[in-house]
Structure formats: structure tokens, C-alpha cells
Amino acid sequence: MNPLITLLITLVGIAIGAAIGYFVRQYQYQEQLRKEQMEAGSILQQAKSEAQEIRIKAQEDILAMRQKAEQEIERRRDELDRLDQRLQNRRDELDRRAERLERTQENLNRRQSSLDRRFNELKKAEEKQAEELQRIAQMTMDEARQILLEKAEQEAREDMARIIRQIEAEARDEGEKRARKLIADAIQRVASEHVSEVTTKVVNLPSDDMKGRIIGRNGRNIKAFEQAAGVDVIVDDTPEAITISSFDPVRREVARRAMEKLILDGRIHPAYIEKVLRKEAKEVERIIEEAGEQAAYDAGITGLHPAIIKMMGRLKFRTSYGQNQLDHAVETAKLATVIASELGADVTIAKTAAFLHDIGKAMDHEIEGTHASIGAEFIKRYGVHPLVVNAVAAHHHEVEQQSVEAVIAEAADAISGARPGARRESLEQYIKRVRALEEVATARKGVEEC
């Protein structure tokens, strides 16, 4: 074969091989590029899905945090409202004390004016007596005798008036001594065994993890509990504890018992919450009835309507300055029994009035009015003796007292409340009263210390 042709064929073969190799490499490159693009698209889609999930989770977390923040804001707002109401009550009390101090100052001013008048009258009397002596020096014997007789009669009348005042003062002193002895004997004979107590609002938890179960998803458990129980459940940073708040002491007690049962049982969801609350409400009603019956028995009271007994039982969960109101009612009734016996008054009316005097406190958060008027209207509906009704209505002098038994019930109430240890704030109030009196006294000119 011609060498030229052979060379040409060889070159053509080489060119064809090179072209085929080029196209094969291009195909492999395109295939590899397509695979890499598919993998990149898959990775991008997965990244988008993960980003969407993260976005949804972040939105849920933000919503939960917002709900929690709103709940905290609402709780703080309620707490501020309560503090504002408490401050308003303190302001009202300070205003009343200021009025009492003003009245005391006015009384002192009147007494000072009276003393000034007496001093002027005595001075005028001395001047008149000096003039009278000068006139007598110029009289006859009969005229002088007549003046002496009139003077002697006047002095005798003054002596008689002084003796009468002395006897009255001695009688008052003796009466006060006998009254103090009577009260001391009454307190010793009653010998109250109960101590000041405070109804608890705190429920202990086994761990802080339980707070999340109590709140529930999106707060559904705690909302169901608050709505069914009629209380506020405060979940804060206090370790292993939550607080139940309500103005109604019976609702607070039902909620406390139900919450403890739920924590012990471990099943916390809306349906079971309502079931436990209904059960504990029945149990608390039974406790209230038993407490009322036992209190009436301890006080020696019989013949009261069951509705009155049940209402008195509600005072088991009510306190005033740390003093349990049901124990206070029993103690007041016993004191009234002793005092009425010593004074010869109607013991039954006195002790019944003393026992029922604060029954209005069991319902004063539900009905408008003072607890004295509310309680009097309530027992009147059940045929209680009119003198007992009057004593209950009048134990804070809102109406006029119509019997000595009403006065005895009021005195027994004051003794029970003022007894050392009965109320937490008694000493503080006593010190404030003493300081107020000292301020009034030292405000007078010439008084440096008292």
C-alpha cells in the first residue's frame, strides 16, 4: 500500500479516536454534572424542610412564651390590684384614726376651756368674797347672823355634794374592780385551748417538673382547674410549691385538697380535674356540717336551724388577724355564758348571740353589706329570737342594743379578740394607740414627756 495512504488512514483513525474520546468524556462530564445537580437539589429541599420545621418550632415556642408572659402579666396585674385595695384600706384606716385624734384634741381643748372658765369663776368668787367682807364690816348683829346662817347652809350643801361625788367615785372604782375580776374569772374558766392559725394557701410539690404537668399543654390543665374551682393558681419561681388564691376560704380549701389529690394521683387532665373537684367539694361540705355541729355542741347551743349550723361551719376556714373565726365564736359563747351567769342575765340568749355574732363573715364576700347586718338578716329568716338578732346586728353599734345580753355578747367578743395571743396584730395596734396618745399629750404646751 502506498505509504501516503497509510499515513492518511492512520491520521484519520487518530482523529476519529480523538473525537470519540472527546464525546465520551463530554457525556461522562454531563452525566456527572446532572447527578451533582440532583444531589444539590435534594440537599436544598432537605434544608428548606428543616428550615420550615425550625420556623414552625420557633413560632410555637414564641407563642408559648407569649402566653406564659401574658399569664404572668395578668397575675401581676391582679396582685397589684390586691395591693392597691390593701393600700386603700390602710388609707381609710389612717383617715379614721386621724378623725379620732382630732376628736380627742377637740375634747382636750374643751376641757382646757372648762378649766379656764373654772379658774375665772374662782377668781371672781374671791373678789366677791372680799367685797362681801367689806360690806359685813358695816352691818348690824342681826344682819351679820343672817349672812352667817346663809353661808353655813351653802357650805353644808357643798359638803353634801362633795360627799355624794366621793361615794359615786368609790362605787365606780368598786364596780370596775368587780367587772375586772368577773372578766378575769371568765377567761380562766373558759381556758381556751386553740391557738392562732392561718389557712394555708401553699401546695407542696414532689418536684418542679410537676409544675409543667399542672399547667398542661398551652395551659389547658391550669385553666380548667381555675375555672372549675373558682380560684387563681399562681405558679412562680418558688421551688417545689404553687399557691392557690381566692377570697372565698371554702373554695380555697376545696381547691387545695383537690390539687393535693391530683398531685398524689398523677392523672392531671381537664375531665379528671372536674371529677376530683366535685368529690372534694362534697367532702368539704361534710367537714363544714360536722364542724358547725361540733362547735354548737362545744358552745352548749341547741335548737338552731341546720342552715345556720352549716353556715357557722364555714367559719372553720375563715380567719381574722390569724384568729380562727369558728374557734372565736365558741370561745365568745363560753365567755358570754360565764358573764351572763354572774350578772343574772338570760344565759341562753347571751351565749347564742355571742356564738352567732360573726356568722355574717361566712358570707360577706358574696353579699353586699357589713357582716353584722348580713348575719342578723340571715338568722332572722330562720326564726331566731329577736333579742339574739338584735345582739348580732348591734355588736359593732350599727344599731341600738335592746338588751343587756347584747352588751354581754359585745363584751365577750372584745375579750376574745383582745386576749393576748388571740390575734397577731394586737400588740402592734396597742403600740400604735399608745404612740398616738403620747403625740396628743406632748402636743400640749408645757408637756415634755409622758
Read off the CATH number of the domain in which 381 is found. 1.10.3210.10
Query: Is there a single domain that holds both residue 290 and residue 310?
Result: no
Domain end position, chosen among 264, 294, 324 = 294
Range from 53-62, 140-149, 312-321 carrying the lowest mean pLDDT: 140-149
Euclidean distance between CA atoms 57 and 60, whole angstroms:
5
Specify whether 58 is located in the same domain as 107: no
- Quick one: 414 and 383 in the same domain? yes
Residue 233 has pLDDT above 60, yes or no: yes
The predicted pLDDT at position 187 comes to: 46
| Domain identity same for 230 and 158 | no
Tens of pLDDT, residues 394-450? 988 888 989 889 888 888 888 877 655 545 544 455 556 556 656 655 665 555 555
pLDDT tens profile 274-298: 999 999 999 989 998 998 899 899 9
- pLDDT of 21 strictly over 60: yes
Say if 179 falls within a structural domain: no
Q: Residue 174 falls within a domain, yes or no?
A: no
Mean pLDDT of the chain: 79
**Percentage of the chain exceeding pLDDT 90:** 13
Q: Per-residue b/e over 343-372, b at no fewer than 16 CB within 10 Å? A: eebbbbbbbbbbbbbbbbbbbbeeeeeebb
Cell of 367: 353579699
pLDDT value of position 290: 92
Q: Mind giving me the DSSP string for 411-443? A: HHHHHHHHSTTS-TTHHHHHHHHHHHHHHHHHT
Longest dimension (CA), the chain: 203
Asked whether residue 185 carries a pLDDT value surpassing 50, the answer given is no
Cell numbers placing 78: 391582679
Do 213 and 143 belong together in one domain?
Answer: no
Average pLDDT score over residue span 326-352: 89
- Sorted by sequence, the CB contacts under 8 Å of residue 302 that are 6+ apart come out as 296
> If residue 203 lies in a helix (H) or strand (E), which one and from where to where?
strand 202-204
Could you tell me if 138 and 205 lie in one domain?
Answer: no
Provide the pLDDT for residue 436. Answer: 62
Domain that residue 79 falls in? 50-87
pLDDT tens by residue, 149-171: 777 677 777 777 777 777 667 66
Quickly tell me which residue has 386603700 as its cell: 88
Residue 178 lies in a domain: no
CA distance linking residue 404 with residue 48, whole number of Å: 89
Report the alpha-carbon distance of residue 156 to residue 150 in Å, rounded: 10
Residue 322 sits in the same domain as residue 398: yes
Banded pLDDT at 177 (limits 50, 70, 90): low
| CA distance linking residue 441 with residue 105, whole number of Å | 9
Q: Does 29 fall in a domain?
A: no
How far apart, in Å, do the first and last CA atoms of the chain sit?
Answer: 150
Could you tell me if 67 and 106 lie in one domain? no
Report the DSSP beta bridge partners of residue 204. Answer: 241
- According to the model, what pLDDT value does residue 130 have? 67
State how many domains the chain has: 4
